[in-house]
Every structure is written in structure tokens, then in C-alpha cells.
A = this chain, B = another copy of it.
């Protein structure tokens, strides 16, 4: 009996295979017919995949059964505070520090007392051309949940 391969080990193998075969995250997502942020997050270990999805990914990337089993397993999500200081990720953290309280005020003003769900939720990323330099546009889209006793 061997343990199930950890999600982070599986992610390392996926990144290596993807790089060596020259396959983009978008191509994997297209293959699965799934949104690209969801797919990337799942392959990095943040969502469980169905057996069919896991099999397709492993076929495409030439990975074998232990990776497939790992992709299907239930994750512990998040973790990894140390990644938050990477500059590309940190700018999102800084944006929350600056605009978080304003978002809270405006959610309460528009919707009442409650939150944006992070479970019934999706994220999208797009490139918006701009003469002054193209822009990264990230959309958080979650169901409003009101405090209901």
C-alpha cells in the first residue's frame, strides 16, 4: 500500500509535462471543456476532478495513474502563505488591503448584511487591449449570501 500522491507532487509533474510538451493551460481547459481558471486551479491542487477529467489530462500530458488518482482526491484548499509575497500575486493582496473595506461598504449598501460566496463562485481572467498598454482584467463573481439565522 502506498499513499496517494500529494496534490503538490502531482502539480509539479503536471507543470513539468506541460512545459516539456509545450501545452498551454488554455489548451488543457479546452480539451476538458472547462473554464481555464477552474482547470488551472484544479491542476495546481485546489479542486478535485472527476475520473473522466483526470484521465483526459493524464492522457494529454503523458502522465500515469498515480497522478490521475491524486487529481481525483479531495484537496485541502489554500495553504501556502509564502506564495502571497510573489510580486504577481502580491498585487492582488495589496489591492485587497487598499480596497477591501470599500468593497465591504458597497456590498452592504447594495445587498444588505451578507457576503459574496467564495463557493458558489467563479473567477475569470481576460486581456483587454489598451493603447497605453494592455490590461489584466480579473473578475470575481459570487452569489450574494445574506446573514440568515
In whole angstroms, what is the CA distance A116 to B93 when docked? Answer: 12
User: Of B3, B37, B117, B141, which is within 8 A of A16 by CB?
Assistant: B3
Measured between C-beta atoms, what is the minimum distance from A59 to chain B in Å?
13
Interface residues on A, range: 35 or more
- Indicate how many identical chains form the complex: 10
Q: Determine if B142 and A139 form an interchain contact, defined as CB atoms under 8 angstroms apart.
A: no
Point out residues on A near B: beta carbons under 8 Å.
1-4, 9, 12-13, 15-17, 19, 24-26, 35-38, 40-41, 44, 46-48, 62-64, 69, 73-74, 76-80, 82-111, 113-123, 125, 127-128, 130, 132-149
A137 and B136 within 8 A (CB): no
- Closest 9 A-B residue pairs measured CB to CB? A78-B97, A116-B136, A3-B12, A40-B102, A41-B102, A91-B118, A138-B140, A89-B100, A119-B145
Check A104–B84 contact: CB distance below 8 A.
no
